């Protein structure tokens, strides 16, 4: 079974665009949990463009005992204003998993992973600190990446394959090569002792094909497509349709 973690960033984007508290993040979270999703994902950024630190704390309290909590972010981004830094947020909220992502303020969304052949020594002390908090540590990586044994050596437990190129190729009807690259990457990560997650632009159209190609796929994190599909079909219904595919 592959877990579904629903990314709620886009709910916060809509709320922040208008001010106030609608759409309500807690209501969206409860809707997803009651529909059966396995957990929730948020990606707080220092510029507070969507999920804010107060949201991270709110969802931690709401999720306790009800599902897994995955907090994504750049562990090297310093504290700024209301944003206390990823490590401090994890210390406060103790998520099930932290997914470390090499993003920056200038990126509209995450668009590349770590280079494990170069970045593991730099990541090692941070991975140790997150592990000390009881968090499972996952690293965002590109399909075709190397260095999985190095990641396992520093205490990383999972990698999340960046699936944006796969989704783009799927939409163009040319996904075969990209999907094979994702599958080979997953095999090499698993051989190194790492579990495999995936995320970015996965949708109801393409997630089933991806899951079928990746034996042992542990988790997918889906936000933008799921929220878009929910505008047309209703959030609870869309969550259940994903679960039919993944479970």
Residues with a catalytic annotation lie at 43, 72, 200
CA distance 8 to 65: 19
User: 42 and 63 in contact (C-beta within 8 Å)?
Assistant: no
Instruction: Output the CA–CA distances (angstroms, integers) from residue 225 to 21, 204, 211, 235, in the order listed.
Output: 22, 8, 16, 11
User: 156 and 139 in contact (C-beta within 8 Å)?
Assistant: yes
Strands (DSSP E) contained in the chain are 3-7, 39-42, 68-73, 97-100, 136-142, 158-162, 195-199, 219-222
CA distance 238 to 58: 24
150 Cβ contact partners less than 8 Å away, ≥ 6 residues apart: 116, 117, 120
Neighbours of 21 (CB within 10 A): 10
Nearest-CA neighbor of 28 among 47, 9, 3, 45? 9
**How is residue 114 written in tokens?**
């770590």
Strands (DSSP E) contained in 202-241 are 219-222
How far, in whole angstroms, is CA 192 from its chain's centroid?
A: 21
């Amino acid at each position: 079974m592959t877990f579904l973690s629903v990314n709620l960033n886009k709910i916060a984007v809509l709320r922040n665009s208008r001010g106030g508290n609608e759409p309500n993040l807690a209501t969206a979270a409860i809707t997803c949990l009651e529909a059966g999703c396995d957990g929730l994902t948020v990606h707080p950024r220092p510029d507070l463009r969507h999920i804010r630190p107060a949201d991270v704390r709110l969802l931690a309290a709401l999720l306790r005992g009800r599902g897994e909590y995955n907090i994504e972010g750049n562990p090297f981004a310093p504290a700024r204003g209301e944003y206390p830094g990823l490590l401090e947020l994890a210390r406060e909220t103790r998520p099930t998993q932290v997914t470390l992502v090499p993003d920056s303020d200038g990126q509209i969304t995450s668009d590349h992973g770590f280079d494990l052949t170069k970045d593991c020594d730099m990541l090692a002390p941070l991975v140790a600190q997150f592990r000390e908090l009881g968090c499972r540590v996952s690293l965002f990586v590109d399909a075709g990446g190397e260095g999985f044994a190095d990641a396992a050596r520093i205490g990383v437990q999972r990698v999340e394959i960046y699936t944006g190129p796969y989704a783009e190729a799927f939409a163009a009807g040319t996904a075969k090569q990209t999907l094979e690259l994702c599958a080979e990457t997953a095999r090499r990560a698993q051989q190194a002792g790492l579990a495999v997650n995936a995320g970015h632009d996965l949708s109801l159209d393409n997630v089933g094909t991806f899951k079928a190609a990746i034996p042992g796929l542990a988790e997918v994190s889906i936000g933008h497509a799921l929220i878009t599909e929910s505008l047309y079909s209703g959030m609870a219904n869309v969550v259940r349709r994903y679960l039919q595919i993944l479970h």
